[in-house]
Amino acid sequence: MKKIGKKQLSYLTLSILWGSFIFYLSSIPNLNTGFPIFFDLLIRKFLHVFIFFVLAYLVSQTIHKTKKIHLSFVILSTIYYALMDELHQSTVDSRDGNYLDILIDSIGIFLGILLYKHVTKKLPK
């Protein structure tokens, strides 16, 4: 088992904090922006992409070079977290879980992985 470095420990801490932030946001009943319905929907769906973009990037950096199949793990674990997030939302008053949101979250996950691959490609080996 490889020893975790300070940088990876920092990313692990940030991943946990970000996941907790997602959980907190999912716990807020009637989370809306106050904009007209169309813009409210657009903003909230964009935020789904952004939130899971950040989570996927942080998780990717956390396990950077520690596992051969690490990107598969990132994809599966973050999509699983998106599923759990939607299940959690279904238990909150005036919120509902939506499987379409998992698909939208997945867009953010893949964009986060693309950023990770782009950033690590430029790093010296």
CA-based R_g, the chain, Å: 16
Residues above pLDDT 90, as percent of the chain: 62
Assess contact for 101 and 44: CB atoms under 8 A. Answer: no
The 10s digit of each residue's pLDDT in 11-68 is: 999 999 999 999 999 999 888 788 999 999 999 999 999 999 999 999 999 887 655 6
